[in-house]
Amino acid sequence: MHDRPSTEEAVSLVDAGTHVESFRQTRSNRRTELVEDYVELIADLIDHDGEARQVEIAQRLGVAQPTVAKMLKRLALDGLIQQRRYRGVFLTEAGKELAHVSRERHQIVQSFLCALGISPETARIDAEGIEHHVSAETLDAFRAFLLRGA
C-alpha 77/C-alpha 72 separation (Å) is 9
Query: pLDDT digit string (tens) for 23-73?
Result: 666 665 566 888 999 999 999 999 999 989 999 999 999 999 999 999 999
- Is 139 domain-assigned? yes
- Is 102 domain-assigned? yes
- Is 1 domain-assigned? no
pTM of the model: 0.75
- Is 11 domain-assigned? no
- Is 91 domain-assigned? yes
Q: How many domains does the chain have?
A: 1
- Is 70 domain-assigned? yes
Are 110 and 127 spatial neighbours (Cβ–Cβ below 8 Å)?
Answer: yes
The domain that contains 22 carries what CATH number?
1.10.10.10
- Is 3 domain-assigned? no
- Is 4 domain-assigned? no
Instruction: Give the dihedral sign, CA 88/94/100/105.
Output: negative
**Which domain does 141 fall in, by range?**
16-149
Query: pLDDT digit string (tens) for 88-142?
Result: 999 999 999 999 999 999 999 999 999 999 999 999 999 988 998 888 999 999 9
